[in-house]
Structure 1
Amino acid sequence: MNIFSILIPKHTLTYLNANDPLDQAVAFLLGATYTAIPVVDDQGRYVGIASEGDFLRAVMEHGRENLAKYKVADIVNKDEGAKVLNTVEKDEIMERILDRNFLCVVDDRDCFIGIITRKSIILYLKN
């Protein structure tokens, strides 16, 4: 499996910066259709994934009016299992995608380069 044939590249995706204010990220996600979104640092390296649940917990814990005091980095899920190298083998992709809607793909410097979705894998295997 050529991962690049199913990769959705970073420049076509929406993602958050770990230093983004939490209130702005919540406002953005309220208008989006995403349930989870990749998070990168200022150098473009993968930090983790922020999900609706992560944002909801932050709102419940701190109150929406206090979210400006926090950054996305404060709530991000640093699940390393949601990240794969661009040289990953098919078996590992299949194992990891079972529990997720998408996997974040990084290069050997840990820079985020895009995602592969469960749907893109299924469509690839269908052909």
Structure 2
Amino acid sequence: MNIAFFLTPKSDVVYATLSTTMGQVLELMEKERYTAIPIIDDKGKYVGTLTEGDLLWKLKNTPGLNFNNAYDVMLREVPRRRCNKSVFIDSNIEDLLRLSVNQNFVPVVDDNRTFIGIIKRSEIINYFYDTLFNKDKSIV
């Protein structure tokens, strides 16, 4: 099975860059109601996933930092506590499933490690649920 079947393309994904500020990403995550988003660099390469927890720990551990001056802190200055791994677009379904167990979404990159989208764990679960319980479909 080709994992591209599950891909949500970059154009439909909420993400940030290393030069996005904490304030901007806090607003974005609140608006979209996300607890984590992918981070890319200036060349479009996936560099990690930022979580609400990462932002809270930065606020807690930085004297004088608050919501008002969070617009002065770039994401490149925010340590990320988890290393969410990505998959290549030509990866197999087993690699995707292994990562999706511990990640709400799996970032997808091309051969140059350029970010091209995500695969949501919910999409994988829904597909296999439909496949198992709807007799019209079969696992490919």
* TM-score (ref. length: structure 2): 0.82
Amino acid at match of 1:19: S
Aligned equivalents of 1:104, 1:28: Cα separation in 2: 19
Amino acid at match of 1:109: N
List per-residue Cα deviations over 1:35-69 (Å, max 9, x = no partner): 10000011111010000000111121222144233
RMSD: 1.6
Gaps (5+ residues) in structure 1?
none
Of residues 37-46 and 56-65 in structure 1, the stretch that sits farther from structure 2 once superposed is: 56-65
SS at the partner of 1:82? coil
The equivalent residue for 2:78 is: 75
Answering whether residue 17 of structure 2 is matched by residue 14 of structure 1, we say: no
- After TM superposition, the runs of 4+ consecutive aligned structure 1 residues lying more than 3 A away are none
The equivalent residue for 2:113 is: 110
SS at the partner of 1:103? strand
Aligned equivalents of 2:15, 2:72: Cα separation in 1: 20
Specify which structure has the higher proportion of helix: 1
The equivalent residue for 1:29 is: 29
Amino acid at match of 2:4: F
Number of residues paired by the alignment? 126
Alignment of 1:43-54 (within 5 A): 43-54=43-54
Gaps (5+ residues) in structure 2?
132-140
Answering whether residue 3 of structure 2 is matched by residue 3 of structure 1, we say: yes
Match of 1:93 among 84, 96, 99: 96
Rg: which structure is higher?
Answer: 2
Answering whether residue 61 of structure 2 is matched by residue 61 of structure 1, we say: yes
The percentage of aligned residue pairs carrying the same residue is 32
